[in-house]
């Protein structure tokens, strides 16, 4: 079994550490900064040998160099990221596209190209482990802003995610759940699953507790972007959320 640890950094980012106890390998997903991530790994006796980047934004790659420099002490660190954004990340050792695979021990992650938030955004799906690392494409009750892509691309992404098994655990990169849910209730005020979820989210946030990871099944029931019936509906919802 893989162990996944949430490392909160900056104001609302989450860096994910994935650890395989059999191989003793550890991966950092989208390290915004280096030191808290290195500290979290060291506290568990882990050394980070890989970084998986989902896209080029600084709050996802800002820790690459620092972690790689520290990793010289234990044999190095390989950084993997989207081929389409290699020029904007700069520190990549390996570039990947749709269908490529990366591994941690005997566990295999398949690369999914999910452009829209950025032009070359990717996700890492580990089907045998029932988990996916989605960066800023899918959030709990939300989706990423369309900085470099189109509503049609995001709609296609949502459909791809929705087709995954219900129990797939979704690891997104920000604590946006409460604001996403509040907006979702203005769109689907009679969605009882959404109302019940928001009660739990509000309680968790009042206790300063994290609300992610989430699951595909939960998002299918409560995420208004995944529930959009067509491109136009997703575009209208995204524009309204941005305007708010």
Q: Which residues are catalytic?
A: 55, 57, 59-60, 117, 136, 174
Q: How many CB atoms lie within 10 A of CB 189?
A: 9
At a CB cut-off of 8 Å and minimum separation 6, what does 88 contact?
56
Query: CB–CB of 233/224 below 8 Å?
Result: no
Per the CB < 8 A criterion, the answer to whether 216 and 166 are in contact is yes
CA distance 93 to 122: 16
> Alpha-carbon distance 207 to 36, whole Å?
22
What is the three-class DSSP state of 41? Answer: helix
């Amino acid at each position: 079994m893989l162990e996944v640890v949430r490392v909160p950094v900056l104001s609302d980012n989450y860096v994910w550490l994935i650890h395989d106890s059999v191989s003793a390998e550890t991966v950092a997903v989208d390290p915004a900064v280096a030191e808290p991530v290195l500290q979290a790994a060291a506290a568990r006796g882990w050394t980070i040998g890989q970084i998986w980047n989902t896209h080029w934004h600084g709050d996802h790659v800002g820790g690459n160099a620092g972690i790689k420099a520290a990793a010289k002490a234990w044999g190095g660190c390989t950084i993997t990221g989207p081929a389409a954004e290699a020029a904007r990340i700069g520190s990549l050792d390996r570039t990947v596209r749709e269908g490529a695979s990366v591994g941690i021990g005997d566990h295999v992650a398949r690369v999914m190209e999910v452009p829209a938030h950025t032009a070359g955004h990717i996700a890492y799906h580990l089907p045998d482990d029932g988990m996916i690392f989605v960066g800023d494409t899918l959030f709990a009750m939300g989706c990423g802003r369309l900085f470099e892509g189109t509503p049609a691309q995001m709609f296609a992404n949502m459909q791809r995610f929705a087709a995954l098994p219900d129990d797939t655990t979704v690891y997104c990169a920000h604590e946006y759940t409460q604001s996403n849910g509040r907006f979702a209730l203005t769109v689907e005020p009679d969605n009882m699953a959404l109302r019940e979820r928001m009660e739990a989210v509000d309680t968790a946030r009042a206790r300063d507790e994290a609300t992610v990871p989430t699951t595909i099944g939960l998002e299918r029931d409560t995420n208004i972007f995944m529930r959009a019936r067509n491109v136009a509906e997703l575009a209208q919802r995204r524009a309204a959320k941005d305007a708010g």
